[in-house]
Amino acid sequence: MKIFYSDVHFQHNPSFEIFDGGVKVPNFEMPERAERILHALHQTSWAAIHNPDDFGLEPILAVHDAGYIDFLSSAYAEWQMIDTDTPYEKDALLPASFPPGKWRHIPKTLLGRAGYYMSDLSAPITAGTYPAALAAVNCALSAAEIVLAGEKSSFALSRPPGHHAGKANCGGYCYINNAAVAANWCSRHRKTALLDIDYHCGNGTQDIFYDRSDVLTISIHADPDDEYPYFCGYSDEMGTGNGTGYHRNFPLPSGTDNKHYLAALGQALELVNSFDAELLVISAGMDLYAGDPLGKFNVTRDGIRQIGAQISSLGLPCLIVMEGGYNNAALGENIVTLLETFENTPPA
Ligand SMILES: [Zn+2]
């Protein structure tokens, strides 16, 4: 299997995030995550690691707001130029004021714009955030290109992750929505569905495709009544306008085990079948694994294998894009377990 990875991700290494309750903690989304996965892939006989190509801004601007991407590209440099006696955290930009919904006026000040374009306090913008986010999306697009060209599957080892990034916001460790940009790219050539199996709702992906009928989006995740991102991911959110019926959420309770997860996945895959998808993009978060520090499911490694087997049994070309997963010790083996099920599936 061809895997796309760029070491530019090392440039994005925030030293902190602000957790629920105002607690300042080391950032869970750290370079070690990608390194653990890369190391595990190097131990296999089938993983071929490639550098991504550069696709430029066009595929990104096809799903993200231009003002937001402009903010993302310049925010850190502007942050360094602010002259103040206040002891700001200068190595990472975070605001403290957020609008209740998107208001008409985009603020002029940097901290005002930061609040406007950020949805929470877990996506600080550092010196290397923008180049790393570009490299991550180029990994997803490179993997998309080879699946479009006929490979049965490919894996984008994208970091930072993407599925919480909406049309015009970062949040939840995500800046550019790698899987959504790739799914939109694929949808120009094949009928495309996107399935998100990260423990958390793919709220950014939902935002991007919510009014579209040409890409089916499905997210299986922890119930937002209990879990981040809280405001999105309920089962009655099924799209709007032309997109009505083309988004589905499967919120699951804390403690969900293999059996109950696989039952929800079975329903999700029936929807992919009914849509007559020709290509499947998978937002692959491994925080669904039991014991993840940010998750509360009881899905085991054998459960991950069964999830992969169930998805790959569809026989669709699959682009697998890395999302979350914060049990660093287990992360590499979990991804290898998932990818092996695609590697071992004969072409449909
Ligand atoms: Zn997650």
In tens digits, the chain (348 residues) has pLDDT values of 999 999 999 999 999 999 989 999 999 999 999 999 999 999 999 999 999 999 999 999 999 999 999 999 999 999 999 888 888 888 999 999 998 877 789 999 999 999 999 999 999 999 999 999 999 999 999 999 999 999 999 999 999 999 999 999 999 999 999 999 999 999 999 999 999 999 999 999 999 999 999 999 999 999 999 999 999 999 999 999 999 999 999 999 999 999 999 999 999 999 999 999 999 999 999 999 999 999 999 999 999 999 999 999 999 999 999 999 999 999 999 999 999 999 876 545
pLDDT at 164: 98
Q: What's the gap in Å between 325 CA and the centre of ligand 1?
A: 6
- Per-residue confidence (pLDDT) for residue 89, from 0 to 100: 87
Distance in Å, CA 319 to ligand 1 centroid: 18
CA–CA gap between residue 302 and residue 308 (Å, rounded): 10
The predicted structure's pLDDT at residue 233: 98
Calculate how far, in angstroms, residue 206's C-alpha sits from the geometric centre of ligand 1.
15
Q: How far is the CA of 348 from the centre of ligand 1 (A)?
A: 31
d(CA 293, ligand 1 centre) in Å: 10
Distance 9 CA to ligand 1 centre (A): 18
Do the beta carbons of residue 280 and residue 193 sit within 8 Å? yes
164: annotated active-site residue: yes
From CA 35, how far away is CA 93, in angstroms rounded? 25
Q: Phi/psi zone of residue 252: left (φ > 0), alpha (ψ -120 to 50 degrees), beta? A: beta
pLDDT at 173: 98
At 104 the pLDDT is 80
| Architecture in CATH of 2-64+128-343 | 3-Layer(aba) Sandwich (3.40)
Residues of each domain in the chain carrying CATH 3.40.800.20: 2-64+128-343
Ion ligand 1: residues, Cβ under 5 Å: 198-200, 285, 287, 324
**9, β-bridge pairs:** none
3-state secondary structure the chain: CEEECCHHHHHCCCCCEEECCCEEECCCCCHHHHHHHHHHHHCCCCCEEECCCCCCCHHHHCCCCHHHHHHHHHHHHHHHHCCCCCCCCCCCECCCCCCCCCCCCCCCCHHHHHHHHECCCCCCECCCHHHHHHHHHHHHHHHHHHHHCCCCEEEECCCCCCCCCECCEEECCECCCHHHHHHHHHHCCCCEEEEECCCCCCHHHHHHHCCCCCEEEEEEEECCCCCCCCCCCCCCCCCCHHHCCCEEEEEECCCCEHHHHHHHHHHHHHHHHHCCCCEEEEEECCCCECCCCCCCCEECHHHHHHHHHHHHCCCCCEEEEECCCCCHHHHHHHHHHHHHHHHCCCCC
Q: How far is the CA of 160 from the centre of ligand 1 (A)?
A: 12
Q: Which of 164, 200, 221, 247 is catalytic?
A: 164
- In angstroms, what is the span from residue 42 Cα to ligand 1's centroid? 24
